[in-house]
Amino acid sequence: MKLSKIYLKKLLYDTEPTEAIFQLSNFWLTRANEEKIHFGLSLPEYYVQLILIYTGEVVNGGHFQYYKNRGLKYFQDTLNACEIISNTKIKNILLQSSKFLENVTDENYNKWNELDQELYKICTDIDKNIIEFLIKNESSILIQERGLNV
């Protein structure tokens, strides 16, 4: 199914950010492959997907879950993605959370919980940053789905 230009514009400009991101990412997830460089996604799609993975893991089970499931495999790329979408708050939370990896004590687990709470508070801002980023990079997202030359 080809994604129409009108529908893409509607998602980017006229849809609540969380819903728009959900719909847009569902399109590119059908071709995402963790075995490929950047999951086989365009760079803007990849950066957004990394942030969605990070926030999704933390919202679902905290930083403990994020590191348990992902380790440091995408850590640097996720930090870069935070900077690229212009959200230093999420980048700082991710950086702070990594300080407790070597020694997961009850005290450090509690610090992760505090960082989880900080991330929850800025989820709406993150979504707005993602949409702004996707609008700036509209020509590089969902290229295949729009039937454009790759």
113: pLDDT confidence band, cut at 50, 70 and 90?
A: very high
Average pLDDT in the 14-37 region?
94
CA dihedral 112, 91, 65, 39 (to 10 degrees): -170
- Percent of the chain at pLDDT exceeding 90: 81
Average pLDDT in the 15-32 region?
95
**What pLDDT sits at residue 132?**
96
Is 60 exceeded by the pLDDT of residue 150? Answer: no
Is 90 exceeded by the pLDDT of residue 71? Answer: no
HSE-up (13 A, CA, CB side) for residue 134? 29
